[in-house]
């Protein structure tokens, strides 16, 4: 079998993965809006297409040999989240501030804060791999803040009430 690294096919797989991943998230957002607008059948169609896009994205990752062991995946997750909160979002925050885009600024600031939380949670899981005690995770639906255990008060990131958190199964 030929080596994939550095080939046009490798680049195509990465581009296809990004496209399918974005389509999944976009279609889920469209489904939520269709539900709110009273169109449950359209919402169901968007969710079905989103699920199909996930199948495609996972197939592309497998073809890229980009899914490693749990330990390798945790290390990659720590690295990716750390890059986001240390490099990617700070530059985006500066640009949004300079250009006066307050909604984008709020979105970037929330994400930047939460990516640090994610990096810490992944590192904790890596440090305790193999002997993790069961824990429930809750995610704030306003800013994405992720908690170990049930929220006891308002969100630390966006100050939304504790009812903004949903339990992740």
**Domain limits, the chain:** 8-63, 68-132, 134-169
Interatomic CA distance for residues 33 and 164, integer angstroms: 18
What is the per-residue pLDDT across 1-53, written as a single tens digit (0 to 9) for each? 899 999 999 999 999 999 999 999 999 999 999 999 999 999 999 999 999 99
C-alpha separations of 94 from 101, 104, 109, 116 in Å:
10, 11, 10, 18
Fold of 134-169: Rubrerythrin, domain 2 (2.20.28)
Helix 70-83 and helix 102-127, axial crossing angle in degrees, nearest 10 = 150
Query: What residues have CB less than 8 Å from 123, skipping those under 6 apart?
Result: 74, 78
Q: Among 1.20.1260.10, 1.10.1740.10, 3.40.630.10, 3.40.50.300, name the CATH number for the domain at 8-63.
A: 1.20.1260.10
Whether 134-169 and 8-63 are alike in CATH topology: the answer is no
CATH class for the region spanning 68-132: mainly alpha
- pTM, entire model: 0.91
What number of helices (H) and strands (E) belong to the chain?
Answer: 5, 3
What is the per-residue pLDDT across 72-81, written as a single tens digit (0 to 9) for each? 999 999 999 9
């Amino acid at each position: 079998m030929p080596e994939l690294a550095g080939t046009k096919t490798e680049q195509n797989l990465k581009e296809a993965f990004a496209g399918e991943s974005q389509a999944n998230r976009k279609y889920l957002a469209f489904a939520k809006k269709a539900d709110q607008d009273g169109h449950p059948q359209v919402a169901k169609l968007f969710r079905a297409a989103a699920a199909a896009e996930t199948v495609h994205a996972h197939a592309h990752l497998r073809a890229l040999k980009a899914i490693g062991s749990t330990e390798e995946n945790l290390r990659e997750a720590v690295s990716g989240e750390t890059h986001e909160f240390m490099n990617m979002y700070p530059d985006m925050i500066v640009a949004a501030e300079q250009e006066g885009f307050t909604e984008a600024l709020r979105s970037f600031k929330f994400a930047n804060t939460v990516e640090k939380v994610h990096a810490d949670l992944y590192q904790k899981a890596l440090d305790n791999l193999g002997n993790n005690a069961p824990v429930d995770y809750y995610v704030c639906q306003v800013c994405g803040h992720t908690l170990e255990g049930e929220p006891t008060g308002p969100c630390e990131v966006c100050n939304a009430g504790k009812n903004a958190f949903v339990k992740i199964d």
